[in-house]
């Protein structure tokens, strides 16, 4: 069983991995955002022709999938994948064997053995794909959630496996935070359009949690950011809204007049 060889990674690999991780975190204010950002951005780190986030209830076998490019997998291919789900080498490795790290199909099966399987002939071959690697972000015995990168021309190298796995734990923590947090109140249209420019999605997300009474530190944990980054987003939001503090910003968020506006 192949284990990530982190000693293959150079400083540039780690910087690139951290940059992609940061981009995913910055684009994610919910578990759904996380899924969409992950499938779009992970191929910047390790090239993949089809990238998916698969979320499966292991008790009911109900599965939801977000993928890019959209529409690449048709209904016949999805049905074929579902037929072989329980015997899929990546699923078995992470849900049955409880492997914790990134894993390739070729780590479980030889190339010749894989080409003889119904999974390959009914699913991968029909999509023009031949190699896959899964990066698990939840394996708790009830649910398996994994990013899966697929491609056709060559298998994923040991260095690519290590590059993906180096951000596995931060991705797991971020996903757990996003998946467990309640949905914040929506931002009013007037706030988004107010001041010197529209709020970015991240600035609006920070203000939502501030309006809910969260501290900078709590907001940072909820959004997978650092407290310093939260403070920076707040300062940018204040400038755009034409206010000087969080109380005034929250009142704008709620569509109300600043109660201190008439105080002299």
Percentage of residues in the chain with pLDDT exceeding 90?
52
Residues 8-18 have a mean pLDDT of: 93
Q: Are 239 and 196 in contact (CB under 8 A)?
A: yes
pLDDT band at 130, cuts 50/70/90?
Answer: very high
| Residues 155-169: tens digit of each pLDDT | 999 999 999 999 999
Q: How far apart are CA 144 and CA 172, in angstroms?
A: 12
CATH 3.30.450.40 maps onto the chain at: 6-179
Q: What is the mean pLDDT of the chain?
A: 85
Residues 93-101 have a mean pLDDT of: 94
Greater pLDDT, 183 or 144 = 144
- Helices 201-211 and 216-223: crossing angle in degrees, nearest 10, is 130
- Of 55, 73, 71, nearest to 63 by C-alpha is 55
Token pair of 156, please?
Answer: 């994923």
Q: How far apart are CA 173 and CA 224, in angstroms?
A: 8
Residues 199-212 have a mean pLDDT of: 80
Whether residue 21 is preceded by a cis peptide bond, meaning omega within 30 degrees of 0, is no
| Residues 163-202: tens digit of each pLDDT | 999 999 999 999 998 888 765 545 444 344 444 567 787 8
* Assigned architecture for domain 189-253: Orthogonal Bundle (1.10)
User: Which of these CATH numbers, 3.30.1330.10, 3.30.450.40, 1.10.4190.10, 3.40.50.2300, describes 6-179?
Assistant: 3.30.450.40
Token pair of 8, please?
Answer: 């293959």
- Position 99 scores a pLDDT of 94
pLDDT band at 2, cuts 50/70/90?
Answer: confident
Give the residue ranges of DSSP H helices in 194-255: 201-211, 216-223, 227-241, 246-253
| Residues 211-238: tens digit of each pLDDT | 777 888 888 877 878 888 888 888 888 8
- Position 264 scores a pLDDT of 36
CATH 1.10.10.10 maps onto the chain at: 189-253
Greater pLDDT, 111 or 203 = 111
- Give the strands of the sheet with 131-139, arranged side by side: 63-68, 50-57, 143-151, 131-139, 103-104
């Amino acid at each position: 069983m192949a284990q990530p060889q982190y000693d293959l990674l150079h400083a540039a690999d780690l910087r690139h991995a951290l940059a992609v991780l940061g981009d995913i975190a910055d684009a994610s204010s919910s578990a759904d955002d996380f899924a969409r950002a992950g499938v779009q951005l992970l191929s910047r780190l390790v090239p993949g022709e089809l990238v998916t986030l698969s979320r499966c209830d292991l008790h009911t076998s109900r599965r939801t999938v977000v993928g890019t490019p959209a529409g690449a997998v048709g209904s016949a291919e999805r049905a074929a994948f579902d037929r072989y789900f329980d015997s899929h080498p990546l699923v078995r490795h992470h849900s049955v064997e409880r492997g914790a790290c990134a894993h390739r199909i070729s780590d479980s099966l030889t190339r010749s053995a894989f080409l003889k399987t119904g999974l390959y002939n009914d699913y991968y071959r029909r999509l023009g794909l031949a190699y896959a690697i899964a990066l698990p972000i939840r394996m708790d015995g009830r649910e398996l959630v994994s990013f899966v990168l697929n491609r056709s021309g060559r298998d994923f190298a040991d260095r690519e496996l290590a590059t993906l796995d180096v951000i596995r734990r931060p991705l797991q923590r971020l996903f757990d935070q996003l998946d467990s947090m309640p949905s914040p109140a929506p931002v009013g249209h007037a706030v988004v359009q107010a001041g010197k420019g529209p709020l970015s999605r991240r600035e609006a997300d920070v203000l939502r949690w501030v309006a809910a009474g969260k501290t900078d530190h709590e907001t940072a944990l909820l959004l997978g950011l650092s407290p310093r980054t939260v403070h920076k987003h707040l300062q940018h939001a204040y400038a755009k809204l034409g206010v000087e503090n969080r109380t005034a910003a929250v009142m704008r968020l709620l569509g109300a007049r600043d109660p201190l506006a008439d105080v002299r």
